[in-house]
Structure formats: C-alpha cells, structure tokens
Amino acid sequence: MICSGFDLLQAYQGHAQWTPDLIWFDNLKSYGTPNYYVQKLFANYKGTNVLSILSGTEKVTGQNGLYASSVWDKNTKEIIIKLVNTSDKEQIADLRFNGSKKLQTKGTVLVLKSGKLDDVNSFESPAAISPVENSITGKSKNYNVSLPAHSFSVVRLKAQ
C-alpha cells in the first residue's frame, strides 16, 4: 500500500501542514505531543460504567475552571476520576465517595502539566510534558487531590 501525505496520528518533522498531530518523528526518533498523552490517558482509563460526579448538588462542568468525569472499571475494580484544572491557580479537589464500595487508603494520580501554556515536547525534550505518577492517601471515602494550574489529572482508587 502506498501512502501519500500524513495522518493526524503522525507527522514527519518539518513536513506537516498543521500542529495538532499526536506523534512526531524523523528518521531516527519519535515523540508524543501533550495531546497524545491526553488521548492515551483517556483511552487507557475509560472504565466500564459512568459515575456521576457532583460539587454539592451540581455537576462539575467548568465551575472555577474545573471539569471532571468519573467511571467505575469492573475489570480492575477501580474508581477513575479525570480532572482538568483550566485556571491559572492550583486547586484542591476534595473527593468524597457516597454509596461506593470501601476504597483502599492509597491510590495514584497521573498528572500532565507544564509551567507555561505554550510549552511543547520536542526531539531535544521528548517527555517535557508527559504524565507523572504520584501516590495519594486518604480515608476510605475521602481524598484531597492537588490540581496544578492548567493541568489534567487521572485519579485511580482501588476497591478493597
């Protein structure tokens, strides 16, 4: 099969017509863009059942620059929360689980962030903006998660 041009997933460095490509490569190397990592995190942690996520009695849909979604993954026995902080200030998410199964006190959070909005990955710094995994600790149904300014976080909590 002969392929002419490049698709959205990959582009040869210096030969693309636009920049939202997910993977850049040259003859020897390749790297994923921040967009690639966001897509990968959504694909890897999609869950099997959607859960509601509320702030008080309202759905979390951009109040104070915060967006969120939550799922249960019956295969891994995890609650997975995706949080986006679009504001220019760190926020603390106070996660409380009502009616859920008892959760382990330790979980993980994958954080994708950068110090500046115009930062990008490059051949010189291929993982400058890539997910960093940290652990979080809470009490079975209460966790506080720090959300850096302009960040995307994926919180994973296993059921006991």
Residue 141 CA to residue 52 CA, distance in Å, equals 15
In terms of Cβ atoms closer than 10 Å to its own Cβ (0-12, 13-18, 19+), residue 39 is: middle
What integer pLDDT is reported at residue 60 of this predicted model?
A: 85
Q: Is the pLDDT of residue 137 over 80?
A: yes
DSSP strand pairing (66-73 vs 78-85)? antiparallel
Residue 8 CA to residue 158 CA, distance in Å, equals 35
Amino acid at the residue 3: C
Arithmetic mean of pLDDT over the chain: 86
Structure tokens at 88: 């220019």
- The architecture (CATH level 2) of 47-158 comes to Sandwich (2.60)
Residue 65 makes CB contacts below 8 A (sequence gap 6+) with 85, 86, 87, 91
Across 38-44, average pLDDT: 95
Across 145-160, average pLDDT: 95
pTM of the shown model: 0.85
DSSP strand pairing (106-113 vs 66-73)? unpaired
Place of tokens 């490059």: 122
Q: The dihedral of CA 29, 154, 109, 112: what is its sign?
A: positive
Structure tokens at 138: 């809470």
